[in-house]
Amino acid sequence: MLENIDLSLAIKHSEYEESMKILEIELGELQRKTRKLKIPIIFVFEDWHASGMGEDINRFILPLDSRGYDFHAMTFACCGDELKPFLLHFWTLIPVRGKIAIFDRSWYSRAIVKHFMTEKSKYKLEKCLGKINCFERQLSDDGYLILKFFLHISKKEQEDRFKKIQKKGIPLIIDEYEQKNETELDFIHEYNKYLPIVEKVLEKTDTPYAPWTIVEANDRNFATLKIITTATQAIETYIEHMTLTQGQQIIKYLDREISKPPELSTSVLDKIDMSQTISSKEYKKSKKLYQQKLETLQYELFRKKRSMIIVFEGWDAAGKGGDIHRLVKELNPRLYRVVPVGPPNDIEKVHHYLWRFCEKIHTAGYITIFDRSWYGRVLVERVERLCSEEEWKRAYREINEFENIITGTGAIILKFWLQIDKDTQLERFKSRQNDPKKSWKITDEDWRNRSKWKEYQIAVDEMLQKTSTFNAQWTIVESNNKRYSRIRILKTITETLEKELNVKSF
């Protein structure tokens, strides 16, 4: 691929200055238009070292309003980042709608460093690139414009520039990591060794929704001009498409896998045996046993640097709060976090819906408990029509990919659906309403949701079917009897930890 790039391309300085006068004005105008239209844009810059990317990025951002973009320079992963799936870090950096994010090196450099240079694993690198494609496609599907530039120079040009840089005393990498471990910086000097790796990355991740533009960067003026010209043309095309009326739209999202929901004559939830119960004596005995085991297992989880994510979903009044309370009763609060999830706030609404969950997931060794979760996309947002049909249908695949990113680093995901019947819910609603200490738990929204029981049941069925995967299965918990529900959950978590950590607590 790269060997066929013509690196002799150049432009006269006078032509460069004349073109830039026009392009700078156009780029500034386009930024204002995208802000008004709430279009989020991501620019990714990758390169060979000494390609002049820093100077090119600076020329690129000068015409922009600094209030309308965020600049992110990739540094080597800190300890906290290393203990999380690396893509979660970049999820937290995606821009709000109407803003631009500029990445001076990105998830690509991090992937190469993490999965090839350090671990020397081509298999892991390819697997990681697949996850990157999913990440970028999800953003593109949600309306993000993604433009990626790779600045290419020849080996000889790089060597000549290294000599000039060294004479000036400029560091090759502005990062304290350089002083800590110089042996892992061999990719700077080993051009031929890493050329096939770079080509593979470009080839595997050059997609219609996030294409690469190879920039011939031996001549710096030519490189700058190509970057800005490509950017302005792409933004203009995107704006033109976004401003077409619905009847004029030619391209329409189509996902053949999930375009038609299954015909559900009966619900899988109707087949659950809701008569399950447990005696008070057995409940107390089992609760004490499993809570003590979990107290021990959380330290083993921490020692082995495995993280656990526990998701609680269920009908209103199914007992999520009580189940979580019994789960954490004997745990060390320093090693777990409970994340209650409500409607998204104004900041969260202008991001991709998965954005707000990424930073909530704790680092390896900790337990993160979600009281409701990202499944709101295919439940309440679907039923209440808070998102389009296209968006919630697309979300099944997006959620599976999101969870695959998490489990891909050794994390454990457990998902519980707390099932109660309609009569039990009514009984609990009335009980809350008549109890001054619990009346705050019942709202008009709860009664309104109850009136849509059938719609929610259809949504739950489809969710359980399409998002129960090998690494992140759903456990349906019979919750008419609260004692039974609590013990079932405690037992499932305990047995899962013992199996995953290969230990017996006692």
Going residue by residue through the chain, which has 506 residues, state the pLDDT in tens, using 9 for 90 and above.
687 788 999 999 999 999 999 999 999 999 999 999 999 999 999 999 889 999 999 999 999 999 999 999 976 555 555 667 889 999 999 999 999 999 999 999 988 877 666 666 677 888 899 999 999 999 999 999 999 999 999 999 999 998 888 887 766 665 544 444 444 455 566 788 888 889 989 989 999 999 999 999 999 999 999 999 999 999 999 999 888 655 544 444 334 343 333 443 456 788 889 999 999 999 999 999 999 999 999 999 999 999 999 999 999 999 999 999 999 999 999 999 999 999 999 999 999 999 999 989 988 999 999 999 999 999 999 999 999 999 999 999 999 999 999 998 899 999 999 999 999 999 999 988 888 877 777 888 888 888 999 999 999 999 998 999 989 999 999 999 999 999 999 999 999 999 999 987 66
296 plus 424 within the same structural domain: yes
219 plus 320 within the same structural domain: no
152 plus 76 within the same structural domain: yes
What element of type H or E holds 371? strand 367-371
8 A C-beta contact, residue 89 and residue 80:
no
Query: Distance (Å, rounded) from C-alpha 44 to C-alpha 31?
Result: 17
Identify the domain boundary among 232, 248, 264. Answer: 248
Does the residue 258 lie in any domain? no
Does the residue 264 lie in any domain? no
User: Tokens representing 347?
Assistant: 């900041």
User: Which of 38, 45, 43 lies closest to 70, judged by CA?
Assistant: 43
**Residue 303's domain is classified under what CATH number?**
3.40.50.300
Does the residue 335 lie in any domain? yes
The number of CA neighbours under 13 Å toward the Cβ of 316 is 22
Does the residue 407 lie in any domain? yes
Structural domain total, the chain: 2
46 plus 169 within the same structural domain: yes
Does the residue 262 lie in any domain? no
Does the residue 413 lie in any domain? yes
Ordered strands of the 69-73 beta sheet: 69-73, 100-104, 41-47, 145-152, 212-216
162 plus 289 within the same structural domain: no
325 plus 204 within the same structural domain: no
233 plus 311 within the same structural domain: no
Looking at residue 23, its pLDDT comes to 95
Instruction: Record the pTM.
Output: 0.78
Provide the domain limits for residue 339.
Answer: 277-501
Does the residue 455 lie in any domain? yes
Which 3 state secondary structure label does DSSP give 305?
A: coil
User: Tokens representing 265?
Assistant: 């004559």
Query: Distance (Å, rounded) from C-alpha 488 to C-alpha 465?
Result: 21
324 plus 238 within the same structural domain: no
Query: Distance (Å, rounded) from C-alpha 148 to C-alpha 231?
Result: 10
Identify the domain boundary among 210, 227, 248. Answer: 248
497 plus 388 within the same structural domain: yes
Phi, psi of 399, deg, nearest 5: -65, -45
Looking at residue 22, its pLDDT comes to 95
Does the residue 268 lie in any domain? no
Looking at residue 117, its pLDDT comes to 64
Residues 6+ positions from 53 with CB-CB distance below 8 Å = 45, 47, 104, 151, 217
Looking at residue 245, its pLDDT comes to 54
Query: Distance (Å, rounded) from C-alpha 112 to C-alpha 120?
Result: 9
32 plus 116 within the same structural domain: yes
226 plus 188 within the same structural domain: yes
202 plus 324 within the same structural domain: no
Looking at residue 252, its pLDDT comes to 41
User: Tokens representing 293?
Assistant: 């085991």
In terms of Cβ atoms closer than 10 Å to its own Cβ (0-12, 13-18, 19+), residue 31 is buried
Contacts 24+ apart (CB under 8 A), 380-385: 380/449, 381/353, 382/459, 383/452, 383/455, 383/456, 383/459
Identify the domain boundary among 248, 265, 294. Answer: 248
